[in-house]
Chains A and B, each alone.
Chain A
Amino acid sequence: MFQAHAALFLYATSPVHMGSGQAFGLIDNPIARERHCEHPVFPGSGLKGAIRHRFHSLPGWTEDEKGEKLLDRLFGPESRAATLHAGAISLGDAQLVAFPVRSVKQGYVYATSAHALARAARLLAQLGVAGMPATPTALAPGQTCVANPELLNTDKLHLEAFEYRNDAPQTEKLEKVARWLADKALPTGDAHAYFRDKFARHLVLLADEDFNWFSKNATVVEPHVRINNNTGAADSGGLFYTENLPPETLMLGSLMASRERSGKDNGLDAQTVLAQVIGAINGQLLQVGGDATTGRGLVAARLINGVSL
């Protein structure tokens, strides 16, 4: 079992394409989603690979057998290795916490729902991370609760082509959650100050179904064509549509560690394993998912250590 836990917040600073292969749907290359609520998801296996890869670019990292051995001890050896053992690190799927939506007032808002916040609170509790304020209760469809009246036209919030009635009683609850997430989940440092401040002021609560709709229909969908070398124009037959999670999306995953499983006498304990990984990625920019060479998949990682459970 895993003895050490941490919450892993991932904040997208570019579009992210964690794909789910080819689909026969609306989009040729859709992003991975959860089956039951269709929220975008970062599969844990993809995160694990991205984090393992991140070690290679650490200052002082040398590409040699010693380094690979350490990675094998932390993440597990290749499937064809002579001695097989499990890795000591477990990455959970990252779930959706807040999703950016175009707004008439203030450019865009960070939308969330009671369901998304309750799931975040549940995961944090499971990881032994205390302190998240009580989450608001679910709203009726067409209602909203905003942390800041500057988003409203009288009592209405306008997101894309839709209008939501503000329901004020839970404002205080939402404000506390927004402030806490802005402080704990968003990236630190001056470069991100604007976004922390905006998150605290412009987190809006929507009904679960309204939020799900935006998370499904307000992603970044882009056409791709193949350019013909001779004509410089688009070739026929190369058209496809690809989907990305928009920048400014906030996701939450889990990072768990056990003692090293390689069977060595002087194996690392769980806390040391966790500290190694946290040291490598906390506060760093990771590249996750596909289309890395076209600037996709940049996420800022922030970890909160959980108490041992």
Chain B
Amino acid sequence: MPSWKDHIPSIGTLGPFLALLLACGFFSFQSEQFLTGANFSLILQQIMVVGLIAIGQTLIILTAGIDLSCGMVMALGGVVMTKVANDYGLHPIVAISIGLAVTAGFGLLNGLLVTRIKLPPFIVTLGTMNIAFAITQLYSGSQTITDLPAAMTFFGNTFGIGQTQVAYGTVLMLACYALSWIWLRETAQGRHIYAVGNNPEATRLTGIATHRVILMVYVLAGLCYGVASLLSVARTGVGDPNAGQTENLDAITAVVLGGTSLFGGRGVIIGSLIGAMIVGVFRNGLTLMGVSSVYQILITGILVILAVATDQLSRKGGR
């Protein structure tokens, strides 16, 4: 159960939020189009895929693991759900479910290799990243899948709140964050994830089945990537076998910028959303200013180092 300490925001949780505010403040001075509802809605749409991948990635990093396969698994899910829908004329909901099952299956595979054969997550997911990429290319014949049923791209549609058009996908992403936040904070299962990341041996000795917790985390992460596939398909309107190439590092960047410790056991899931937003805000803001996106890469690099340094220093300071 959460203790009173959890209610005091630490530098790890406030830092990312301050960085986001500063970035927003800077860009609103630079471009008159920046500080509008429509633009913020747009940024949220642009980060929804990485945002959802980052939920799964956060869970895994909380257990002191890492998942390099996330982007490729996401691309595979997108290709599977669009191709089975087009080739067999399946109902979109059935096709999407098959896609989710495939990504969750990859999560299961990752989890089994990590818990049963005790391979390091970095190596396991480096392998499955390539496997997922190859299967995606083979299954799609490296061809983009077009002419999708309208229901498959539903989450790319928008509805109006006042003057602002908001995508259904944004709502789905925010709902997933809210759900996982409550789950991590308020349930025993959620607290076990933190415990496993902090000290697996001590956790095991208290009678918690640590392997089962880790396996569950990988499967859940796989499911998150499946939902991300759906959002990616909805956003671009196609099943793209070349999607996901940069999303693994983007998601890890979002998690790290959001203050989750790469050493496991510490972090707040909402931080990952803020981390993804920081990257999205820079990309959007610099484009509005007409500045090369190389600066976005530069700034992101600096922020990642700062975030990890903050984590490390606060650990040394004792807690």
Real binding pair: no
- Using CB atoms and an 8 Å cutoff, list the residues of chain B in contact with chain A: none
